[in-house]
Every structure is written in structure tokens, then in C-alpha cells.
Amino acid sequence: MNIQEFFRKMTSGHFWGNILAMLALVILLCLGVKYGIDWYTNHGEVVVVPNVLHKDFKEAEDILDGLDLNIEVNDTGYVKSLPPNCVLEQSIVAGEKVKPGRIIFVTINATSTPTIALPDVIDNSSYREAAVKLRAMGFKLGSPQYIPGEKDWVYGIICKGKQLSTGARVSIEDVLTIQVGDGRLNENDSINYTEPEFEYYYEDEEEEEEPVEVTSETPAPSTPEGGATTTTEKPSASATKPATPSANKPSAPSANKPATPSANKSSAPAGKPAPAN
């Protein structure tokens, strides 16, 4: 392609027609976006949010529908002094300016008192621990009822004359009575007494004395080798035999008994005749 053909195509009507068509399309898109977004978002249109607090839900719904606003319930609460199904809270405060069609989330008052599950405090905690835990959860407690049992131990919970168990649903408006032990033993309770086991040892009779072997080393006369001999003495019968008490056995008189004279014997010297009788 030479220069003449290039300028001829640049100056042709078909080329400039395409350029103008593209410019027109871009302008139309910009205008469409500008005015289309304003129309879609209700640009320049605002609605003041009314105050629907403490109004019945049906009444609040009618008021918001008249202002092209929507209403939805996202939570429930409980206020004893207010009627059921009245609006307790609204997500956008009154006086705020919003677009038409905005959703207002509200919290309404419950038709019945809420209930709470009873925790595991029966026969599992003392009175002080149970009372603190129940009050923290929102329960109402009355005066405790004392029954025979371990002192200050929780044995049961009563509500409206009925015994409650762990996990029971109880209204926060009901008053609970805790059964607490007073430290006295119930007459129906039984005591299991286990006698301790003792081992008895009997002393044996007096044991006989065993013979004692006495070994003494005495120096022996010197021998040619210069050694020493060892003599082993066996215990005598008197050493091994226990001494017999002699207190009750009378001793034979010796000094006080006179000597008996011998009639047949003479003390004269031999060879000398005996005197005549």
C-alpha cells in the first residue's frame, strides 16, 4: 500500500461514518448510566423514618407501608410492663432519612415469659454456689427449705410445688425454692459401719535356751614351731540348765548338828591299851 491509497481510505466516507457511530454509542452509554442509576437508586428521594416504638406490630407495619418502607422482625424480648407483640426496638432510629423501600428491622415483645433450662446444681453443689449461679442466669429465688442432710448441700429444687430436674425449662417469673441440708441425719438413712480388721498376734511360750558354745583362746606352751593351740570348752550341764531356786528347799544343817560319838572307835594311839570300862 502506497501513500496515495492510505490517504484515500482515510478521507473516505465509510471510515468517518464508523468513527461517528462509535462516538455516538459512547455518549449514549454515559447518559444511560447517569440517568439510569439515578432512577434505580431513587436519587433525590428520601423518607423520614417514623417512631414505631411501643406500638403494636400490625400498627407499625401499616405506618411503614404507607411510607414505602418495609418491616421485618429479627428478635424477640420480654418486658413485663408492655403488652405482647409491641415493638421494643427498631434498627433505624426515628428521624433518619432513608431511601424508599428500605427495610426496618424491629424487636417485638414476646407473647409469653421466656424460659431457661435449669443447670446441673442438684446434688452437685453447695447452697451458696447454686444460688449465685441461678441468680446470674436470671432465676428468682425464694427462701431455702431446710431438710435433714449434709449441711448446706443442695438436695433438690421446687417450683410451684413440683420437684425439678436438671434441664427442665423454667419461666424467669417463677420463684424457685432450694432444698438445703440442715446438718441433721435423717432417721430413714442407714449407716454402713465397717469394722476395721485387726491382726492378733499371740506370744509363744517361753522359749528354751539354746546351748551356747563358748570358745576361748588360751596361750599354750610354746612349741618348737612357736604356734598356739585353741581349746574349745563344751558348756557344762550346770551352765545350760537354768538355776533352780533354792529358797523353798531347806539346807542340811551342818554347823549346828552335834557330832555323833563313835563307840567302837578309839582315838588312843596305836600300841597303847585302851582303858577298862
Pair 145, 169 in one domain: yes
Pair 62, 104 in one domain: yes
Range of the domain at 145: 115-181
pTM over 0.75: no
Average pLDDT of the chain? 75
Q: Is residue 227 part of a domain?
A: no
Instruction: Taking residues 233-241, report their average pLDDT.
Output: 45
- Residue-wise pLDDT tens digits, 54-103: 999 999 999 999 888 999 999 888 888 889 999 999 999 988 988 888 89
Q: Beta 175-181 vs 140-141: how paired, if at all?
A: parallel
Q: Is residue 260 part of a domain?
A: no
Rounded distance between C-alpha atoms, residue 191 and residue 184, angstroms: 13
Pair 131, 98 in one domain: no
Could you tell me the CA-to-CA distances from 77 to 18, 109, 116 in Å, in that order?
A: 67, 5, 14
Instruction: Taking residues 22-27, report their average pLDDT.
Output: 90
Q: Is residue 264 part of a domain?
A: no
Pair 135, 161 in one domain: yes
What pLDDT, on a 0 to 100 scale, did the predictor assign at position 100? 86
Boundary of a domain, candidates 83, 109, 135: 109
Amino acid in the structure at residue 98: V
178: Cβ contacts below 8 Å, ≥ 6 apart: 127, 130, 131, 141, 144, 145, 154, 156, 157
Residue with cell 473516505: 12
- The domain spanning residue 135 has which CATH number? 3.30.10.20
What's the angle, vertex CA 118, arms to CA 113 and CA 120, rounded to 5?
170
Paired with 117 in beta bridges are 169
For residue 247, pLDDT over 50 is answered with no
Percent pLDDT > 90 in the chain is 34
Q: Give SS3 for 27.
A: helix
Q: Is residue 217 part of a domain?
A: no
Q: Is residue 62 part of a domain?
A: yes
The count of domains in the chain is 3
Boundary of a domain, candidates 109, 131, 151: 109
Q: Is residue 242 part of a domain?
A: no
- Residue-wise pLDDT tens digits, 158-193: 999 899 999 999 988 899 999 999 888 666 666 565
